[in-house]
Chains A and B, each alone.
Chain A
Amino acid sequence: MSLIFQALINGLVSGTLLAVPAIGFTAMFAVLRFPNFAVSGMATLGAFAGYLVYGAVGSVVAALVVAFAAAGAVGLFFDKTAHLPLVKQGALPAAIASIASGLVLENLVRLGFGNDPRGYDRPIARDMRLGDLRISPQQLETMGIALVVMLLVFAALGFTRIGKAMRASADNPELAALKGIRPQRVAAMASFVGMGLVGIGGMLLGLDSSIDPLTGTRILLSMFAAAVLGGLGSVPGAVLGAFLIGIAEELSVLVFGSPYRSAVGFFAILIMLSIRPRGLLGERAY
């Protein structure tokens, strides 16, 4: 029994980490209307940018800021130059182009850093125990960071002008444009913030484990599954989806064994798209 509770805790932790990039992914979809698979490369980029800054300065906050800014800026660049010009032809060409961008980024990182895994030089501590259950102080910390980032995103969407403009554009682009919201500006903002969040997600993941050029590719499926499960385009949906995928992946280890863990994401996408393609919370952005 304690094994199941432990798996639930582990699932909550990995769900929180997954939620940040999933929010970024779904927010970009809400505004730009194509699934941007360059998130795999961008998460890796964020992880390495954060790694460089953490190595130089030793501050997690500074590293987070740089991870956000670097991934956001590069994400914006790729959207402007490669993806958005294709969106007019439909979501599929843009999505395919974004897969290519992800591969380009992954290999640029490989060119610069090689294939060897690297780790943030963080102290590894024994877990805290509560009876049979355990949780690590580092995980609590990364979980805390992830929660703060999520709160900031929700606050920004709820209370700032640009947040409101993004929600309006996502809900109804034509109406928003009529109201004087400039779609170009909102799209740029969505690219920057969305990819920035993905960069933070990659870095948070790296803080806890290790980073290499495939870091982002490893979470791509879970991230996509979380967004689809919650409803592509829905920010609260992405959070809910991330928790569900995180928990389901951990429980699946107990039920089916570790090798089938990756199947959970595929399975969730399959079920959701066949039963309720809108996702759990529908498409409403907020």
Chain B
Amino acid sequence: MNRTILRRRTALLTGVAAVAAPSVIRAQGEPIKIATLTPLTGAGGLYGPTMAKAAAAVVEEVNSAGGVLGRKVVLVSEDDQTSPEPAVRAARKLIDVDKVSAIMGTWASAVTTAVAPLCWESKTPLFTVSGADSITLLPHQGYIIRTQPNSQLQVTNLAEFILSLGSKKVFTMITQTPFTQTTIDIMNRVLPKGGATHGSLIYDDKKTTYRTEVDQALRGSPDMIVANGYTPDSVILLKDLYRAGYKGKIVGFAYSLSPKLVDQIGQPEVVEGIYTFAPSPAEGSGAYERVKKASGLAAPDPYTSQVYDHTSMVLMAMAQAKDTTGVAIKDNVRKISQGGGKTVDNAVDGIKAIAAGEKVDYSGASGPCDFDDKGDILSCKFRYEQIKGGKFTLVKIA
């Protein structure tokens, strides 16, 4: 009921705005509609609102610089509730009623998977921040573009980092997750190329001691342990590694080897020197600075940065195609995101350059934004930190 009232109010406001707007804009024809479908509520509710805000900021900038192809851009924001079923309803509304040219910002992999078929059937490009490898394997005919690194990219990057530390004998201790086998396979492939050996052990994350697992891992005297679990089991694992007298290096994902874990272990020497790793937005880039301003956050999360890039790319692709349809966006997004040319970090500059007949290459707040044929990003920045004296210190963003 609330939503109906809101929609009616929005419609009324839009009508009033249209009447009140200067005749120039009305003369320019129908506004271009694009949409965000982000988790404003539910498990992703922490991220969705700022994601939508980042998109709105891009639209506002572009509109105040004259819009796209001389037309005004209107952003429609819907809530996917971090749940596939409401997400599908919202997507139907965006596609059938609002007739948007592109949908951006789906967060949960389950939501993206549910919404994707609607998008490719209606030829509406879907820009997502979901990570599951399976998403870009869907038969999406090019209509899915993903800015979040899949586990392939993440683990490959981690393996290369391990090699850069000069490790020769690497051992992965990993819990059972949908990513476990991919992780082990990639490590087995990448590490030997750099002259390192790799062993692995899958452990049960619900045990209270990992002494025997640690013994097994240390049998081949590794100089690098990849601790790939969740926080509670990692606490036990790291303690047991320390007790066993392990003095080599340790690396793990930042979401589990977190400040909370350091607090929990409570003894700095147990975690001293551990490396952590996480996908990172392109900190220091012009686009990231804009996202800071738009979101009002001191350190915007990767998802907000990614939606900023989604919106910029959608609008630039339209300018490139001189057409605002979903098909045009799909066919032109790679022409403005990669392949050399003038590097731009925002939509306004990009659209200007395109209008001037220049080839542009967008490099955004989340990274270079270059995509393969499946729609996966080719590279992104990763943030490496090291625990020193109980504090996380930046090693590099690369």
Contact = CB atoms under 8 A, between A and B. Distances in A.
B176 A3 contact: no
Nearest to B266: A121
B213 A134 contact: no
A121 B204 CA distance: 25
B270 interface: yes
Contact of A259 (B204, B215, B239, B264): B204
Given A117-B235, A124-B267, A262-B204, A6 B245 contact: no
A209 B242 contact: no
A6 B213 CA distance: 11
Nearest to A214: B206
B264 A127 contact: no
A116 B211 contact: no
B110 interface: no
Contacts of B201: 257-258
B243 interface: yes
B31 to A, nearest CB: 46
A151 interface: no
Contacts of B210: 258
A119 interface: yes
B206 A262 contact: yes
A257 B236 contact: no
Interface string B226-245: 00000110011001001111
B232 A117 contact: yes
A13 B208 CA distance: 12
Nearest to B236: A209
Interface string B35-54: 00000000000000000000
Interface residues of A, number: 37
Given A6-B215, A117-B235, A259-B203, A205 B245 contact: no
Nearest to A136: B243
Contact of A119 (B211, B215, B266): B266
Given A127-B243, A257-B201, A250 B232 contact: no
Given A10-B211, A253-B212, A254-B216, A218 B236 contact: no
B221 to A, nearest CB: 12
A117 B210 CA distance: 16
A76 to B, nearest CB: 26
A254 B212 contact: yes
B207 interface: yes
Nearest to A258: B203
A123 interface: yes
A20 interface: no
Contact of B207 (A3, A116, A261): A261
Nearest to B239: A124
A261 B210 CA distance: 11
26 contacts: A3-B216, A3-B219, A6-B212, A7-B212, A7-B215, A10-B209, A10-B215, A13-B211, A116-B231, A116-B264, A117-B232, A117-B235, A119-B235, A119-B265, A119-B266, A124-B270, A126-B243, A134-B245, A138-B243, A208-B209, A209-B208, A209-B209, A210-B235, A210-B264, A250-B212, A258-B213
3 A-B pairs closest in CB distance: A258-B203, A117-B232, A253-B212
Interface of A: 3, 6-7, 10, 13-14, 116-119, 121, 123-127, 129, 134, 136, 138, 205, 208-210, 212, 214-215, 218-219, 250, 253-254, 257-259, 261-262
Given A126-B243, A250-B211, 20 more contacts: A3-B215, A116-B231, A116-B260, A117-B264, A118-B264, A119-B265, A123-B267, A125-B243, A126-B242, A134-B244, A136-B243, A138-B243, A208-B208, A208-B209, A209-B239, A210-B236, A253-B213, A257-B201, A259-B176, A262-B206
